[in-house]
Amino acid sequence: MTMFDIPVAYAAMFVGAVGTLVPMWRAHGADCRVRIGHGAMAVSMVAMMVPAVPAGIHLLGGAVLIALAVFVTGETMHRRTAVPCAVDLTAMGVLLLLAPTSAPAPAASAPGPGPGPGPAPSGHHHGGAGISTGWLPLIVLVCWALLALHLYRSTPRRECPGVKFAAAGSALMILGMTPMVV
């Protein structure tokens, strides 16, 4: 069973995709770089919802998201909007890089008559690119949530009126990335 067999996983990923766009609703003063970063996260979340997309695409997407985190923080004028976006980009990129490059291999069957092992399930599986990552994706997700909460609580509302939208978007993205950790 893959995460694509569970409708709740699709719903969570859809909520995450919407969450990538929420900060742009009030981003009147946001830099174009922040908008590009949120757009890239939206494309990445939608791509995760497509089960036929090769896992290599998600690995490439993870690397691009991390590179965009550096790009987003290059504009010093909009630090209050760039830093939360960079945190979201980095966390999502790291989680995508922890995705395996192929579906898990089926267990070997005993020799004898009858059908052999079935084909490996297709779709996007998470948990490590051929290495045992164990709790690492969960740790990344929890750190992302804690950092987003810290940024929300430490930003004066009068300095950045869109801070509530950025925090809501981060929360929705974290919810959307949860199926890949579970």
Domain positions in the chain: 3-102+123-181
Distance CA 145, CA 83 (A): 14
pLDDT tens by residue, 112-147: 454 544 444 444 444 444 444 678 999 999 999 999
Q: What pTM value is reported for the model?
A: 0.77
Mean pLDDT of all residues in the chain? Answer: 77
Q: What is the pLDDT of residues 59-86, one digit of tens each?
A: 899 999 999 999 998 866 667 778 889 9
